[in-house]
Amino acid sequence: MQMDASLLSKYNVPVPRYTSYPTVPFWQDNIERQQWQDVFSQQFAVHNPREGISLYLHLPFCESLCTYCGCNKKITTNHGVEKEYMAAIAREWASYLSLMNEAPVIRELHLGGGTPTFFSPDNLERLLENIFSSAKIHPDHAFSFEGHPNNTTREHLQRLYELGFRRVSYGVQDNDPEVQRIINRLQPLENVRRATSDAREIGYHSVNFDLIYGLPLQNEERLRNTILQCIGLQPDRIAFYSYAHVPGTSRGQRLFDENDLPDTETKMRLYRLGKSLFTEKGYQDVGMDHFALPGDELNMAKQEGRLHRNFMGYTTQATQLLVGLGVSAISDAGVAFAQNEKTIHAYYAALQQEQLPVMRGFFLNEEDVAFRKYILDISCRGAAVFQEEHLPLLRTYSFPELEKLADDGLLQWDEKGLEVTALGWHFIRNICRAFDLHLLRTQQEAGAPRFSKAI
Ligand code: SF4
């Protein structure tokens, strides 16, 4: 299958990653807290406990700033902050428990950040045991965490394993010393190797590496070395993300000399290089920049049509409810989203006043729920079946886009539904966009939300 440069260039337009629909820029500030609580409570009461819920914990502290970073984080070397933050998470969890009519069954759990391994193994254990003491654990659970190769100790891995974690994701980004110096993330390959072999020895069955292309000073030779070194360690999954240069919102990026950033042409060559190396070395393209070895659960879920997508990206556990705890974390009640306060100060202040710290969100109407399902079906299964009652909307907004995508061989469609082609999987974000009514309606307007380019 040829993925020619002109097609890549044509579809390299700003497009969301669709971890939610509607996407975050369309949400409302200052959502009605009581309304969110009511919706969450109602949705919990009708959810299927056998399906369980998902939980995301945002642990924002990092010891030093990686200058490319666009995450919500707090840089500090003072580990005294751990206790106060754990108490806040415990308080927030207690507030959610009060909205549930029975003990929740936790099926999926992810620790993200920031750097979850900033916390000591003892503190992580205390934090999680407090949550687990008021919940049940689903027999088919999937627990994962993000580990920094520089500070993930064997003790972290062992304790989390004993608590049920079987998947770890390491932020590798780039192994080249010059690139690491400019992004202020000095991380010897030996640390990645050690953290990976420790995880395997302990019994983790899935190790993921995050890599980034488009970083300053990256070139094809450096990226090739990084990728081959990583593949040598045989991670089960690789996420290959595009660096998004947004110095307006990510202040650390202002430290870059923009002349050191690869130009668009080079960035596309880096992207093509990565994709071809992964495929050559036996990884399969899951979609949305994720690659996995054939035996990995994510790949098997894709083959069997069991893939799901939420704020944590692709997952194999299709739950309808996601509780996000911690600063900036996002919760999903199926028909509504809520995001927590983005500064630790505001997050603590809301909890001290015994309020849920939610600040932005969105309540979906029927149209949103229907089009959210189309986007989920396309991003997870590469196919969608159109409902007759949506045809007027589809004809107005989606079908003109599908015609163009079909002309380029990315999908086949008629008024009954669509199927993404093998080539189309490389452009899955662009295909989902054809069902993003919020974006399509505003795309002509000045001030429409901006997203990072597909590549
Ligand atoms: S990239 Fe990760 S470790 Fe680095 S500053 Fe951002 S959140 Fe912290």
Q: pLDDT digit string (tens) for 416-430?
A: 999 999 899 889 999
pLDDT in tens, 62-118: 999 999 998 899 999 999 999 999 999 999 999 999 999 999 999 999 999 999 999
Tokens of 162: 């004993």
CA distances from 282 to 291, 301, 423 (A): 10, 17, 18
**Location of structure tokens 């759990």:** 109
CA angle, 45 as apex, 39 and 47 as ends, to 5°? 95
Burial class (CB in 10 A: 0-12, 13-18, 19+), 159: middle
Cα(75) to centroid of ligand 1, in Å? 9
Q: Taking the model in full, what pTM does it have?
A: 0.93
Atom of ligand 1 at shortest range from CA of 146: 2
Which residues, other chains included, contact 238 with Cβ-Cβ below 8 Å and sequence gap of 6+? 208, 209, 210, 211, 230, 278, 283, 290, 291, 292
CA 147 to chain centre: 15
* Nearest CA owner, ligand 1 atom 1: 69
Tokens of 85: 């933050």
If one residue of 59, 69, 172 were mutated to test the ligand 1 pocket, choosing by the most ligand atoms within 8 A of its CB, it would be 69
- Give the β-pairing of 358-363 and 28-29: antiparallel
Contact status, residue 381 vs residue 417, Cβ threshold 8 Å: no
* Separation CA 311–CA 210 (nearest Å): 16
Residues of the chain with pLDDT under 70: 1-3, 444-455
Cα(246) to centroid of ligand 1, in Å? 16
pLDDT on residue 173: 96
Cα(342) to centroid of ligand 1, in Å? 16
Residue 193 corresponds to which amino acid? R
Q: Which residues pair with 418 in a beta bridge?
A: 384, 413
Cα(430) to centroid of ligand 1, in Å? 28
CA distances from 398 to 28, 215, 422, 453 (A): 25, 34, 21, 20
pLDDT on residue 287: 84
Half-sphere exposure of 347 (CA within 13 A, CB side): 27
Contact status, residue 3 vs residue 275, Cβ threshold 8 Å: yes
Which residues, other chains included, contact 246 with Cβ-Cβ below 8 Å and sequence gap of 6+? 70, 253, 452
